Amino acid sequence: MQELSIDSVNQSFANREVLSSVYLNCKIGEVVGLLGRNGSGKSTLLKIIFGSVKANFKYLSINNKIYDKGYLSRNLSYLPQDNFIPNQITVLQAINTFCKKRQAELTQIDFVINHLKAKFYNLSGGERRFMECLLMIYSDTDYILLDEPFSQLSPLWIEELKKHINKAKADKGFIITDHYYQSILDISDRIVLLHNKCNYTINHENDLVTHGYLLGFTA
């Protein structure tokens, strides 16, 4: 089965338990939205899956193979909250590194065409974030972890990113977390909430109120 799954995740920092027996999975062809209040462990969970943070305990499986760190599978891409492309790299060099299989597709996007020769230090904060998101969405891996992809982006760019995610998910699986929860609700096939150190399946927006993530609906 083509699936990324992580089970029995336990993690503590300075004797404070952050995650307790957390389970999360993602199949090819779906977008899983990960919600939770500040400090609930969303970013920590993504880092544990990728392998940049070591959990107290976890069981990580990617396409039926067990991995200690997700990046060792070479089938997992991760967008952190902070910029990760070196300043001196050009957009074209980054595409050649991350997106060999879908390079032709990526270089048909107007924004990319107009910035192929630009180095990342020449891009504005929003432009850089948008480009880094596109690089991960069109990267050569089956599974994509996106941590706060919509931050720093204008509403128009957020909507464009959603379109690219919907297009790419035909043969990829996405796990996405962001404080722009409405965008997560819009783009996701399933929603998982991290709350009180555990994971909860969200079937309706009302469930976010029940679990204390939202105080109520807004008109």
What pLDDT, in 10s, does the model give residues 100-114?
999 999 999 999 999
Q: Residue 96 falls within a domain, yes or no?
A: yes
Q: What is the DSSP letter of 203?
A: -
Banded pLDDT at 217 (limits 50, 70, 90): very low
pLDDT of residue 68: 96
Question: 126-157 b/e with 16+ CB inside 10 Å = b?
Answer: ebbbbbbbbbbbbbebbbbbbbbbbeebeeeb
Q: Can you tell me the mean pLDDT for 56-66?
A: 96
Tens-digit pLDDT profile for residues 157-202: 999 999 999 999 999 999 999 999 999 999 999 999 999 999 999 9
pLDDT of residue 115: 97
Q: Residue 216 falls within a domain, yes or no?
A: no
Q: Can you tell me the mean pLDDT for 72-96?
A: 96
Q: Which domain holds residue 145?
A: 3-209
Rg, the chain, Cα only: 17
Q: Can you tell me the mean pLDDT for 58-85?
A: 96
**Residues 112, 131: contact at Cβ < 8 Å?**
yes
Q: Residue 218 falls within a domain, yes or no?
A: no
- Count the domains in the chain: 1
Banded pLDDT at 44 (limits 50, 70, 90): very high
Q: Residue 217 falls within a domain, yes or no?
A: no
Residues 103 and 99: their CA atoms lie apart, in Å, by 5
Instruction: Provide the CATH number for the domain around residue 163.
Output: 3.40.50.300
- Pairing verdict, β 190-195 and 31-35: parallel
pLDDT of residue 150: 95
Banded pLDDT at 219 (limits 50, 70, 90): very low
Q: Residue 215 falls within a domain, yes or no?
A: no
Q: Residue 169 falls within a domain, yes or no?
A: yes
